[in-house]
Structure 1
Amino acid sequence: MILFWVASLCKLVIAKEKLDFATILDTVYKNQIDQISYETLTENLWDSYQHPIDLNSTSREEIKRLHILSEEQLENFFAHLYKNGVLVSIYELQAIPGLDLATIERLLPFVKVEETYPQQTQGLQALFGERPTTYGYWLSRYERILESQKGYQFNKKSGKIPYQGSPHKIVTRLKWKHPNGWGFGIAARKYPGEEFTWDHAKERYGFDSWSSYLSVENKKWLKKLVIANYQVGYGQGLVINAGFNMDKSGETIPIIRVSNAGIKPHSSFNNQGFRGIAATFNWGPMEQSLYYAYNSLDSKVLQDTSTGKYYTEGIQRSGLHRTEQEISKKAQIYEQVMGSTLVYKFNREQAELGLNAVYSHYEIPIQINPKKPSYYFSGKYNFNVGFFYRYLWRSLHFFGENAFSKSGGSASILGVIASLSSNLDISLLLRHYKPDFHSFYGDAFRENSSGNCNEQGIYIGVGIQPIKKIRINAYYDYFNFPQPTTRIAKPSSGYSWLTKATYQVNRTNLVIFQYREVRKDKNVPKDKLLYQKDAENKVATYNNRKYKTQFKQQLNKFIDLHSEIQASTYNFLKELTWGYGIAQSITYKLKRASFTGQIAWFDTDSDNRLYLHEKSSLHSKAIPSVNKKGIKYYMLVTYKPTPNWRIEAKYSITWHLEETSIGSGQEEIDGNTKNTVSLQLIYRF
Structure 2
Amino acid sequence: MMSYSLFFYLLLLLSYPWLPVQAQEEEQVMELRENLAENGKEEEDLSAFQEQLDFFRKHPIDLNHTNAEELKKLFWLSPLQVSNFFEHLLLNGKLLDLLELQAITGFDLITIEKMLPFVTLIPVNRFASLKFKDLYQQAEQQLLFRYGRTLERQKGFRDLPGSRYLGSADKLLLSYKYQYPKIGAFSLLMKKDAGETIGTKPVPIDFVSGNFALFNYRSIEKLVIGDYTLQFGQGLTLWSGFSLGKGPDVTSLASKDLGLKPYTSSNESTFFRGIASTFRLPKHLYFSPFYSFRKRDASLKTDQDGQYTLSSISESGLHRNTAEIRNRKRLAQEVYGATLQYLSNFLNIGISANHTRFDQTFSRDSSSYQKYGFEGRKLGNFGLHYNVAFQNIYFYGELAKSFPGGWAVLQGAMTNLSRSISMVLLYRKYDKDYVNFFSQAIGENTTSSNEKGLYLGINYQPHPHWKFALYLDYFKFPEKKYRVDTASGGYETLAQLVYSPIKQFKLTARFKTERKQQNPAAGHTVRSLENLLNTSFRLDCNWKFHKKFSTAQRIELIQYQKGKLLKEFGYLIYQDIYYTPMHSKISGNIRLAYFNTTSYQSRIYAYEADVLYGSGSGGYYGQGIRTFLNLRYRLWRKLDLWSRYDLYYYPHQAFIGSGLDEINGNMKSAVKLLIRHQF
For normalisation by structure 2, the TM-score amounts to: 0.89
Q: CA RMSD in A?
A: 2.3
For the residue of structure 2 that corresponds to 1:34, the secondary structure is helix
Output the CA distance in 2 between the equivalents of 1:353 and 1:436. 26
2:490 is the alignment partner of 1:490: no
2:149 is the alignment partner of 1:144: yes
Give the alignment partner of residue 635 of structure 1, picking from 620, 629, 637. 629
For the residue of structure 2 that corresponds to 1:49, the secondary structure is helix
Corresponding residue for 1:555?
A: 545
For the residue of structure 2 that corresponds to 1:253, the secondary structure is helix
Alignment of 1:318-467 (within 5 A): 318-345=316-343, 348-369=344-365, 371-449=368-446, 451-467=447-463
2:280 is the alignment partner of 1:264: no
2:497 is the alignment partner of 1:501: yes
2:515 is the alignment partner of 1:519: yes
Corresponding residue for 1:578?
A: 569
In 2, are the aligned partners of 1:40 and 1:244 still within 8 Å (CA)?
Answer: no
Corresponding residue for 1:59?
A: 67
Report how far residue 304 of structure 1 moved.
3.1
Report how far residue 260 of structure 1 moved.
1.7
State the identity as a percent.
Answer: 30
Letter in 2 for 1:442: S
Report how far residue 23 of structure 1 moved.
6.7
In 1, are the aligned partners of 2:309 and 2:360 still within 8 Å (CA)?
Answer: yes
Corresponding residue for 2:47?
A: 39
Closer/same/farther in 2, CA of residues 407 and 258 from structure 1, 3 Å limit = same
Output the CA distance in 1 between the equivalents of 2:33 and 2:200. 42
For the residue of structure 2 that corresponds to 1:373, the secondary structure is coil
37-46 or 490-499: which moved more? 37-46
Closer/same/farther in 2, CA of residues 226 and 414 from structure 1, 3 Å limit = same
Give the alignment partner of residue 663 of structure 2, picking from 653, 658, 669. 669
In 1, are the aligned partners of 2:248 and 2:495 still within 8 Å (CA)?
Answer: yes
1:240-292 deviation per Cα after TM superposition (whole angstroms, max 9, x unaligned): 114241122222221x2111211100121002101100000012411110000
Give the alignment partner of residue 587 of structure 1, picking from 554, 557, 578. 578
312-321 or 379-388: which moved more? 312-321
Give the alignment partner of residue 532 of structure 2, picking from 529, 532, 542. 542
Corresponding residue for 2:292?
A: 293
1:274-330 deviation per Cα after TM superposition (whole angstroms, max 9, x unaligned): 110000001241111000001111112333343x33322321111111110010001
Output the CA distance in 2 between the equivalents of 1:510 and 1:92. 25
Report how far residue 635 of structure 1 moved.
0.8
Report how far residue 442 of structure 1 moved.
0.9
In 2, are the aligned partners of 1:189 and 1:207 still within 8 Å (CA)?
Answer: yes
Output the CA distance in 1 between the equivalents of 2:242 and 2:73. 10
Give the alignment partner of residue 222 of structure 1, picking from 211, 220, 223. 220
Report how far residue 384 of structure 1 moved.
0.3
Gapped runs of 5+ residues in structure 2? 1-20, 38-43, 126-136
Output the CA distance in 2 between the equivalents of 1:102 and 1:403. 36
Report how far residue 350 of structure 1 moved.
1.4
In 1, are the aligned partners of 2:25 and 2:609 still within 8 Å (CA)?
Answer: no
Equivalent pairs, count: 634
Corresponding residue for 2:642?
A: 648
In 2, are the aligned partners of 1:154 and 1:161 still within 8 Å (CA)?
Answer: no
Output the CA distance in 2 between the equivalents of 1:116 and 1:364. 52
In 2, are the aligned partners of 1:517 and 1:543 still within 8 Å (CA)?
Answer: yes
Report how far residue 474 of structure 1 moved.
0.9
Report how far residue 85 of structure 1 moved.
3.9
1:456-509 deviation per Cα after TM superposition (whole angstroms, max 9, x unaligned): 001111101122211011111111110101231211001111101111121111
Output the CA distance in 2 between the equivalents of 1:677 and 1:483. 45
1:104-123 deviation per Cα after TM superposition (whole angstroms, max 9, x unaligned): 33213323333499xxxxxx
Closer/same/farther in 2, CA of residues 483 and 372 from structure 1, 3 Å limit = closer
In 2, are the aligned partners of 1:266 and 1:273 still within 8 Å (CA)?
Answer: yes
422-431 or 79-88: which moved more? 79-88
Report how far residue 22 of structure 1 moved.
5.9
Output the CA distance in 1 between the equivalents of 2:176 and 2:23. 19
Output the CA distance in 2 between the equivalents of 1:73 and 1:459. 20
In 2, are the aligned partners of 1:50 and 1:134 still within 8 Å (CA)?
Answer: no
1:7-42 deviation per Cα after TM superposition (whole angstroms, max 9, x unaligned): xxxxxxxxxxxxx99677126756874116533432
Output the CA distance in 1 between the equivalents of 2:258 and 2:321. 36
Corresponding residue for 1:624?
A: 618
Letter in 1 for 2:337: G
Output the CA distance in 1 between the equivalents of 2:206 and 2:346. 45
Output the CA distance in 2 between the equivalents of 1:672 and 1:596. 25
For the residue of structure 2 that corresponds to 1:263, the secondary structure is strand
In 1, are the aligned partners of 2:653 and 2:666 still within 8 Å (CA)?
Answer: yes
Output the CA distance in 1 between the equivalents of 2:543 and 2:534. 30
2:175 is the alignment partner of 1:173: yes
Report how far residue 134 of structure 1 moved.
6.1
Output the CA distance in 1 between the equivalents of 2:340 and 2:389. 20
In 1, are the aligned partners of 2:414 and 2:422 still within 8 Å (CA)?
Answer: yes
Report how far residue 373 of structure 1 moved.
2.1
Letter in 2 for 1:44: Q
1:593-639 deviation per Cα after TM superposition (whole angstroms, max 9, x unaligned): 21311100111122211112321122223211111111111111111
For the residue of structure 2 that corresponds to 1:46, the secondary structure is helix
In 2, are the aligned partners of 1:51 and 1:135 still within 8 Å (CA)?
Answer: no
Corresponding residue for 2:241?
A: 243
Output the CA distance in 2 between the equivalents of 1:140 and 1:263. 27
